[in-house]
Structure 1
């Protein structure tokens, strides 16, 4: 029987390892095909490298241009913006406060006018300066902190503050632009091509240790954590170890509440040990099943919901320079949390609580008793998979909290056109660093119990399938990808799935050792060693492919079957410059029948799509055997780069206006302009008077927003481009 378990586990674990390896190779090739495509290669983030811990002697554009040569296109030397950040935050806070005060005052005046109209007052339609209803409207006031007894007009006071602050901010922004501010050891260097950027990224830039390193490529400006750029190399090292130590301590002490949740799953056994709990035995079977099944699973899910907030806060304070790196750090830490707390601690406490009385009476028999009760703890995870599958999928589809926020809270919180517009256009973001570990851990649990309690595979498959369907729908229609990790989250999750194989092998070895099954024990030990060696080899093979782009793909081999429209954009410009200017509509295809006016040129279908269609048609007409042979060929050799590059498609390059490109990697406080205030227009003309008084200090408008007959703020949803609309730049 034990030999049967051994060989079945070999087959299953080998199949899991092969599928992870195959998917990793396929994804690495697919990722390379996308990153080298003309659209992505022309992005400014793909051609820009961030160098940290730059020596003071190299913090000049001349010196950096001398190091990297003619490949350099632009250089941004980051400056210390702590004072400027405070001033810009204060300016924006005052500006939006003025906007809200103006909107509140306009609404109050319009309410007085509507009340006057209901009483058939003939002066209601007169000019607001002469109508008596306007004289009864109270302007917003507040007390100054240093003169608590004195009241001031809030609108006039904020205008005065902005009148002083806005010029001060503009002067300081100009100093940062021309290089008069204090520089910090971080520079952004834009290169002419993606190839030049990759060469600089993969080259050792300085002879001294910890200088001009670490380096990062593909970081969009809107995802940079600017406060982390000012840290020196030793500050980042100290912060990293302190945060990692704190997370380890947190994992250890978090075991206390997690262990308590695990004991609840075997409450039937604890009632015999703890007499005060025996009243549970008299409860109906349904209630007892809920207490021992769903209640612990719900408690564990609630307990773990607090972890991502803490981990992401820790990640932001390690000195990581981008939100993508924060997500990757959070993914690793959260996965460790999930495996230790949700799986290991809960499993051990669940198995131990089931036989605690016997262990107390005979401590030496603990290993045998735990081995017998280990499969029983799978009952908890069956409930966990069902709960996670139903609750997560239902919550993701129904979006209860989103409905409450959008439909109910906006009635009380959104008092200005800006707030209404932002609520309307902003989509929910998805934090991959906390989403993936939950489902990766579910896969780890299923693999670990696969040969101990095979029934769990069915429930885990059902739960993961429900979650997959829900997230698939939301990713297409509901969620927005706010953090671009360059596709590094998924391959890391694949590697973490292999943790389940190691845990399962350890469990099998432990069970064989307890039963004194020497032969199966040796065989499983050999298989574990082979798994470790294979995993090390897999990491050595894939790590370079996921951290950088290979030079061999810069100029595709002519034998790969790639045509000119699949080559680098720089090479295409030299050979066929007209291809990148204005392609004829008849060659683009019927899908591109309209053209949107935009700052950035977005993707258009390539000419190679017709080639794929014809190839597919030829394969379809040749019978089922070639299809089957092609399927197995692709299944066994998933890393066919030429085929994957055709699947990705060749889209148009991204073009940037000069002002966007020049300001791309300045800190936000350096490039952020004074905000435009947007207030609702009223029929009485109060908004026009306020605009006239405020526009000399700060830009303000009441276009495309008005107060309706119920005195509610309404913005024009037909044009969809209100005054505060900004083009989303594809950096």
Structure 2
């Protein structure tokens, strides 16, 4: 979302004239932002309508590129507006079936947000806004007259008495919010339990495997761990003890890089020969059917062959022929890798076991109970246990930390995270200053030159620069926070994303909302604050001014929310950055059949640790200002509606959430927790509005106390929610396990009776007998395959099952070298040379077109599983 938000922010100039004070310019600033946002949104959406029928690979790749094909969605109509009805007719639950529970729960969170915000918007605009502006005779204050400050700070007793209505509305709003959260949390728990106990999931290796870290040396053997965990229901089927493979992972990584480099060099050689033949500089000749030797010498002079320099420093080192060097090095590395792998099978001294293991149970219940049972009487030993591990989700380098090192690293990098929160205040403060430069120029002498800036550039500085700068900061920050999470020792990528979500959401709450609100309030009232503190401090007047200043700081957030919705949503539909990057990469990076295939067939996926916090910020702003400045509610409702429609489209037709990234919805409860944090902050702000003005009306003490009581009630409900539903997040209830077990035992077609949410996931997850595709009925199998073929396939599937959690450095195969076939026979001659070197290569399903561009028509790259 940050990419689209940045693009929208840059494209939406809020052209406003400098005014005498920020309150006077609030309306013009917001209105111009709205106008230009609408203009750019219209441009983006018209471009989307025009481009959508022409680029299926950008706008509906999931209609034909999903793996397996059963996850494809029906293609949309290619007419200008015919697709709209088909898109809206798709239910949200289709996202659950096609793209998993994480994707569905994100859309569910957006839907819940709409259910919360829209009624609040309607009620607050009908009741609160007239309440706030009832006795204001002048409209010169713009949008700021619809803030709580004008009512609470009023000197008229009648106005003060009407402020009791705010308290009543606050209770009603909170009750509505909590009711919606309760309904969605209940739905989520039910869906998660159905998901992890569905027939298509509960029998997979992923569902039955537990990762345990911090294993003491005396237990680091398959026999010992089998004895310990064999007491669980069903017992243990397989144990993988993680080993110290020394430099083996580096050798495999180096080999894989050389394979890709060799593919690129050979393809470049083929294209060079093609170009020379086309230009008539060399004679083209029909290629022989069988190639012997390097026929490229007939077409490409030695000086035009691809070369590279050895050494880590670019442009320094020995210059060598890329193809000859890579081929020799791959051959050497393959020999080294094979020798080390064979040695690692028996030499436990050279490749000792390390402090982690994967344990495959015969029953899902065994894995669930083992994860919740203490296995060691010593502290921190075998304490960290993770269920539902996927081989592609594992961060292998983080598996070897001893428990004390991991604890220290966790504390250390959380300290660094909080230090980052503190020091990030500086760039965020600068962003806030830019939005009020015209006001500051009239108050601070050395900034008086700003008043000479023309209106249009000044409007861009005020309206665009703060939003764009904040978007850039939000794009850079997750990279750093993800690094901190990974360095904490979290052993899975999903765990890192969950940790990133927590860290980034803290930033959204504290920096992008609270700090910005305070800074905006300070900038709006710096002169008034100075007058109340000098020459003699007037504390009561100072706090009263604070209570009036914070609600009036809503202008920036109005712009942010509108740009985030109206500006970003059409950009999400348009996918302008992926569209441009696709063709740029095809031009610059489409140099081999493999890169061309990856570019054509690769599907995007969200980074949950970034996406959820971006949405949470809108909800935090709503809860902070739904009573202080209710005009925000309407803007947020429009923004959330557009984001819901945009992301719903992306998760149906564009994004592909891989099973290795599936947490069965665990990001949703984290989002709910931060939703409560935003609600805490909003309620606390309302309480301060009352308590900071007790000098004007003593009844505000009671209003403030009742608002604090409301805060306590919210916290109590939050505790109840966590206490009641929290244990169900990580467990498979025994009653569900028994029920599904009885169904499976009593009914031959139980899988059909208990309809799985994702019926094709058995073809997509790491699985046992059905690892590749669902098996057809036995009678048809016998017709299609003889007994030998069935046995071979069953053996291959069993081998894959029992090697699922070996370190990839021990099991990964070298990629099949894939070159384009060409009329000059160079590709086929290079294949022959590779085969002489002892590894596989091919030119199947790849070639050059008349313009010398690489083309391919493979379902998957040769020898590669997708």
TM-score by length of 2: 0.71
Measure how far apart 1:538 and its partner are: 1.4
Moved more, 703-712 or 379-388: 703-712
Q: Which runs of 5+ in 1 are unaligned?
A: 557-566, 605-653
Q: For residues 662 and 345 of structure 1, do their structure 2 counterparts lie closer, same or farther at Cα, with a shift above 3 Å needed?
A: same
Conserved? CA contact 1:144–1:151, under 8 Å: yes
Measure the CA separation in 2 of the matches of 1:578 and 1:479.
33
Measure how far apart 1:429 and its partner are: 2.1
Matched, 1:210 2:380: yes
Measure the CA separation in 2 of the matches of 1:148 and 1:444.
53
Which deviations, in whole Å up to 9, do the C-alpha atoms of 1:126-154 show, x marking residues without a partner?
Answer: 75989995374643345556998975443
SS of 1:681's partner is coil
Measure the CA separation in 1 of the matches of 2:297 and 2:773.
55
Measure the CA separation in 2 of the matches of 1:526 and 1:148.
70
Moved more, 173-182 or 464-473: 173-182
Measure the CA separation in 1 of the matches of 2:174 and 2:459.
33
Q: For residues 655 and 313 of structure 1, do their structure 2 counterparts lie closer, same or farther at Cα, with a shift above 3 Å needed?
A: farther
Q: Which residue of 1 aligns with 2:99?
A: none
SS of 1:479's partner is coil
Measure the CA separation in 2 of the matches of 1:291 and 1:207.
62
Conserved? CA contact 1:124–1:133, under 8 Å: no
Measure the CA separation in 2 of the matches of 1:131 and 1:551.
67
Measure the CA separation in 2 of the matches of 1:504 and 1:672.
53
Q: For residues 655 and 190 of structure 1, do their structure 2 counterparts lie closer, same or farther at Cα, with a shift above 3 Å needed?
A: farther
Matched, 1:100 2:241: no
Aligned ranges 1:202-601 → 2 under 5 Å: 202-278=372-448, 289-363=459-533, 364=539, 365-482=541-658, 483-516=661-694, 517-556=700-739, 567-568=740-741, 571=742, 574-576=745-747, 599-601=771-773
Measure how far apart 1:602 and its partner are: 5.4
Measure how far apart 1:390 and its partner are: 2.6
Measure the CA separation in 1 of the matches of 2:675 and 2:229.
41
SS of 2:223's partner is helix
SS of 1:46's partner is helix
Measure how far apart 1:210 and its partner are: 0.8
Measure how far apart 1:485 and its partner are: 2.1
SS of 2:399's partner is helix
Conserved? CA contact 1:262–1:345, under 8 Å: no
Measure the CA separation in 2 of the matches of 1:385 and 1:93.
44
Conserved? CA contact 1:444–1:500, under 8 Å: yes
Q: For residues 279 and 201 of structure 1, do their structure 2 counterparts lie closer, same or farther at Cα, with a shift above 3 Å needed?
A: same
Measure how far apart 1:573 and its partner are: 5.4
Tell me the C-alpha RMSD between the 2 structures: 3.0
Matched, 1:709 2:846: no
Matched, 1:699 2:840: yes
Moved more, 10-19 or 363-372: 363-372
Q: Which residue of 1 aligns with 2:815?
A: 675
Count of residue pairs the alignment pairs up = 653
Conserved? CA contact 2:272–2:300, under 8 Å: no
Matched, 1:173 2:337: no
SS of 1:515's partner is coil
Q: For residues 304 and 144 of structure 1, do their structure 2 counterparts lie closer, same or farther at Cα, with a shift above 3 Å needed?
A: closer
Conserved? CA contact 1:46–1:218, under 8 Å: yes
Matched, 1:140 2:306: yes
Matched, 1:662 2:845: no
Measure the CA separation in 2 of the matches of 1:385 and 1:656.
54
Aligned ranges 1:590-629 → 2 under 5 Å: 599-601=771-773
Q: Which residue of 2 aligns with 1:110?
A: 274
Matched, 1:17 2:204: no
SS of 2:613's partner is helix
Measure how far apart 1:489 and its partner are: 0.2
Matched, 1:57 2:229: no
Q: For residues 498 and 705 of structure 1, do their structure 2 counterparts lie closer, same or farther at Cα, with a shift above 3 Å needed?
A: same
Q: For residues 61 and 270 of structure 1, do their structure 2 counterparts lie closer, same or farther at Cα, with a shift above 3 Å needed?
A: same
Q: For residues 287 and 14 of structure 1, do their structure 2 counterparts lie closer, same or farther at Cα, with a shift above 3 Å needed?
A: farther
Q: For residues 292 and 575 of structure 1, do their structure 2 counterparts lie closer, same or farther at Cα, with a shift above 3 Å needed?
A: same
Q: For residues 91 and 287 of structure 1, do their structure 2 counterparts lie closer, same or farther at Cα, with a shift above 3 Å needed?
A: closer
Conserved? CA contact 1:103–1:679, under 8 Å: yes
Q: Which runs of 5+ in 2 are unaligned?
A: 1-161, 534-538, 695-699, 777-793
Moved more, 48-57 or 143-152: 143-152
Conserved? CA contact 1:75–1:187, under 8 Å: yes
Measure the CA separation in 2 of the matches of 1:97 and 1:282.
57
Measure the CA separation in 2 of the matches of 1:260 and 1:550.
51
Q: Which residue of 1 aligns with 2:331?
A: 163
Moved more, 392-401 or 41-50: 392-401
Matched, 1:684 2:684: no
Q: Which residue of 2 aligns with 1:26?
A: 187
Q: For residues 144 and 340 of structure 1, do their structure 2 counterparts lie closer, same or farther at Cα, with a shift above 3 Å needed?
A: closer
Of 325, 342, 353, the match for 1:183 = 353
Measure the CA separation in 1 of the matches of 2:287 and 2:399.
58
Q: For residues 15 and 266 of structure 1, do their structure 2 counterparts lie closer, same or farther at Cα, with a shift above 3 Å needed?
A: same
Measure how far apart 1:331 and its partner are: 0.5
Which deviations, in whole Å up to 9, do the C-alpha atoms of 1:210-246 show, x marking residues without a partner?
Answer: 1111110012110111111000001111101111111
Measure the CA separation in 2 of the matches of 1:429 and 1:201.
29
Measure how far apart 1:525 and its partner are: 2.0
Q: For residues 150 and 280 of structure 1, do their structure 2 counterparts lie closer, same or farther at Cα, with a shift above 3 Å needed?
A: closer
SS of 1:506's partner is helix
Which deviations, in whole Å up to 9, do the C-alpha atoms of 1:693-714 show, x marking residues without a partner?
Answer: 2212221111111122222211
Q: Which residue of 1 aligns with 2:149?
A: none
Measure how far apart 1:546 and its partner are: 0.7
Measure the CA separation in 1 of the matches of 2:411 and 2:297.
69
Measure how far apart 1:724 and its partner are: 4.3
Conserved? CA contact 2:375–2:382, under 8 Å: yes
Measure the CA separation in 2 of the matches of 1:599 and 1:680.
31
Measure the CA separation in 2 of the matches of 1:143 and 1:355.
62
SS of 2:285's partner is helix
Measure how far apart 1:254 and its partner are: 0.7
Conserved? CA contact 2:296–2:826, under 8 Å: no
Q: Which residue of 1 aligns with 2:151?
A: none
Matched, 1:75 2:239: yes
Q: For residues 539 and 599 of structure 1, do their structure 2 counterparts lie closer, same or farther at Cα, with a shift above 3 Å needed?
A: closer
Q: For residues 360 and 713 of structure 1, do their structure 2 counterparts lie closer, same or farther at Cα, with a shift above 3 Å needed?
A: same
SS of 1:76's partner is strand
Measure the CA separation in 2 of the matches of 1:307 and 1:261.
15
Measure how far apart 1:495 and its partner are: 1.9
Conserved? CA contact 1:680–1:702, under 8 Å: yes
Measure the CA separation in 2 of the matches of 1:290 and 1:362.
33
TM-score by length of 1: 0.84
Measure the CA separation in 2 of the matches of 1:197 and 1:407.
46
Q: For residues 88 and 35 of structure 1, do their structure 2 counterparts lie closer, same or farther at Cα, with a shift above 3 Å needed?
A: same
Measure the CA separation in 2 of the matches of 1:402 and 1:195.
43
Q: Which residue of 1 aligns with 2:362?
A: 192
Q: Which residue of 2 aligns with 1:89?
A: 253
Measure the CA separation in 2 of the matches of 1:30 and 1:78.
34
